[in-house]
């Protein structure tokens, strides 16, 4: 489904998700992913890809293996403020950077989408927007699963577009 979206459609969905960020949820769909004793700092909307590599498994069969995310995170006004990449890591425009590790996950509310996550910061760099962040939630995910096309060449790369909200806590 997501692979057939035009760029305009993808942008429309991203804008709709940005609008949803500004509205407080009536009840948290991510309740099981809520961090302990933490204060919400900001909620951003990500638009990007999940990168995969075609690799052999233990039985010698080729299959897609997740490698890294690559996304831009936008604030409620649509301004790009954070880059998200391998690690997983997040780097703000001011140079502050965090790297996280997964603490918990649960299925997405959207079928055929990457799971929602709770991550804990385990390293920081610089001072600024992200320097006090202790937890990151990835919620409201759309897309991002391994490419639908089977992989037939070892080490071939593939990617899948995704959208998500990232909630940062201190």
Tell me what pLDDT residue 32 has: 77
Mean pLDDT of 140-148: 98
pLDDT digits (tens, 9 = 90+) for 49-107: 999 999 999 999 999 999 999 999 999 999 999 999 999 999 999 999 999 999 999 99
Q: Does 30 have pLDDT greater than 60?
A: no
Q: Minimal CA–CA distance to 141: which of 103, 96, 106?
A: 106
Q: How far apart are the C-alpha atoms of 52 and 86, rounded to whole Å?
A: 12
Q: What residue ranges do the domains of the chain occupy? A: 2-24+38-48+71-141+165-169
No. of H helices and E strands in the chain? Answer: 1, 8
Q: How many Cα atoms occupy the beta-carbon half-sphere of 47 within 13 Å?
A: 19
């Amino acid at each position: 489904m997501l692979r057939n979206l035009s760029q305009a459609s993808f942008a429309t969905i991203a804008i709709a998700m940005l609008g949803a960020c500004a509205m407080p949820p009536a009840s948290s769909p991510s309740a099981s992913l809520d961090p302990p004793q933490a204060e919400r700092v900001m909620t951003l909307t990500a638009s990007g890809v999940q990168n995969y590599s075609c690799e052999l498994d233990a039985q010698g069969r080729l299959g897609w293996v997740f490698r890294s995310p690559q996304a831009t995170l936008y604030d409620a006004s649509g301004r790009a403020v954070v880059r998200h990449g391998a690690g997983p890591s997040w780097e703000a425009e001011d140079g502050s950077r965090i790297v996280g590790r997964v603490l918990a996950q649960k299925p997405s509310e959207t079928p055929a989408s990457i799971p929602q996550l709770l991550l804990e910061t385990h390293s920081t760099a610089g001072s600024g927007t992200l320097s006090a962040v202790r937890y990151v939630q990835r919620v409201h995910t759309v897309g991002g699963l391994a490419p639908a096309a089977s992989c037939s060449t070892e080490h071939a790369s593939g990617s899948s577009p995704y959208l998500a909200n990232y909630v940062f806590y201190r």
